[in-house]
């Protein structure tokens, strides 16, 4: 083994490849990673940092899988790139669950929890992570505001109404219908976009049929 290897790579010698890749790889804080938020699971064995000021998106999911997995009426998730997170403790001691296959193997997408207190930490997707902001230690109201939910999804499966004026999707956001008290301008915008897509599609079909 080459002498110039750091302790980090020596200690991860022979372990699974996933520990070396984002979102589990260790960042060089201060250098390639500016710490903006600190977070921990309930027992504190798993801790992480975030470098992005605001999530790419923040949403509330009302699907029955989230209800069961979180033992809550709905789930609050914030989307980040896999490189935005830096685990500082316990990330070698996680457990996974894939609700589709009901499997505990690490294959994407899957749910990630602390293996000691079982707090849900994030959903690891193929390209992004959806982490649960309830684990973040917000230092002020503005920080919390950065994570404010921007929409509801799978609202059809809800256990209660939330009349907050946010967009409400029947299924996945941007690929289902806006329902209930969604903002009217959002509904108009979605309708326009669908008409445009339909026009483009029929134009394409016509061109195809000419060939
Ligand atoms: Zn824990
Ligand atoms: Zn869900």
Instruction: Find the 159 Cα to ligand 2 centroid distance in Å.
Output: 13
Domain span at residue 171 reads: 17-210
Closest ligand (CA of 89):
1
Kindly provide the residue ranges of all beta strands, DSSP E only, lying in 20-84, ordered along the sequence: 37-40, 47-50, 57-61, 75-81
Instruction: Convert the pLDDT of each residue in 45-55 to its tens digit.
Output: 999 999 999 99
Instruction: Convert the pLDDT of each residue in 124-140 to its tens digit.
Output: 999 999 999 999 999 99
Instruction: Convert the pLDDT of each residue in 14-26 to its tens digit.
Output: 557 888 889 998 8
Evaluate whether 78 touches 85 at the Cβ level (below 8 Å).
no
Closest ligand (CA of 75):
2
Among residues 126, 138, 167, 164, which one has the least CA distance to residue 39?
138
Place of tokens 């699974």: 16
Residue 63 lies in a domain: yes
**Alpha-carbon span 62 to 73, nearest angstrom:** 7
Give the domain CATH number at 169: 2.170.150.70
Which residues lie at CB < 5 A from ion ligand 2?
Answer: 61, 63, 66
Residue 1 lies in a domain: no
Count the domains in the chain: 1
Instruction: Find the 175 Cα to ligand 1 centroid distance in Å.
Output: 35
Residue 7 lies in a domain: no
Token representation of residue 170: 């029947």
Instruction: Find the 171 Cα to ligand 2 centroid distance in Å.
Output: 9
């Amino acid at each position: 083994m080459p002498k110039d290897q750091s302790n980090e790579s020596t200690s991860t010698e022979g372990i699974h490849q996933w520990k070396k890749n984002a979102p589990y790889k260790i960042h060089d804080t201060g250098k390639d990673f500016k710490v903006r938020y600190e977070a921990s699971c309930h027992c504190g064995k798993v801790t992480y940092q975030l470098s992005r000021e605001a999530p790419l998106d923040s949403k509330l999911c009302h699907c029955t899988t989230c209800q069961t997995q979180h033992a809550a009426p709905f789930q609050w998730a914030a989307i980040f790139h896999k490189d935005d997170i830096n685990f500082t403790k316990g990330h070698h001691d996680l457990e996974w669950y894939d609700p589709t296959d009901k499997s505990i193997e690490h294959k994407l997408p899957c749910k990630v929890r602390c293996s000691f207190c079982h707090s849900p930490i994030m959903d690891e997707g193929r390209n992004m992570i959806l982490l649960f902001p309830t684990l973040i230690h917000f230092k002020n109201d503005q920080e919390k505001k950065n994570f404010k939910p921007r929409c509801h999804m799978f609202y059809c499966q809800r256990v209660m109404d939330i009349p907050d004026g946010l967009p409400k999707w029947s299924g996945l956001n941007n690929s289902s219908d806006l329902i209930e008290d969604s903002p009217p301008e959002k509904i108009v915008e979605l309708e326009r976009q669908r008409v445009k897509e339909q026009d483009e599609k029929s134009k394409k079909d016509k061109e195809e049929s000419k060939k």
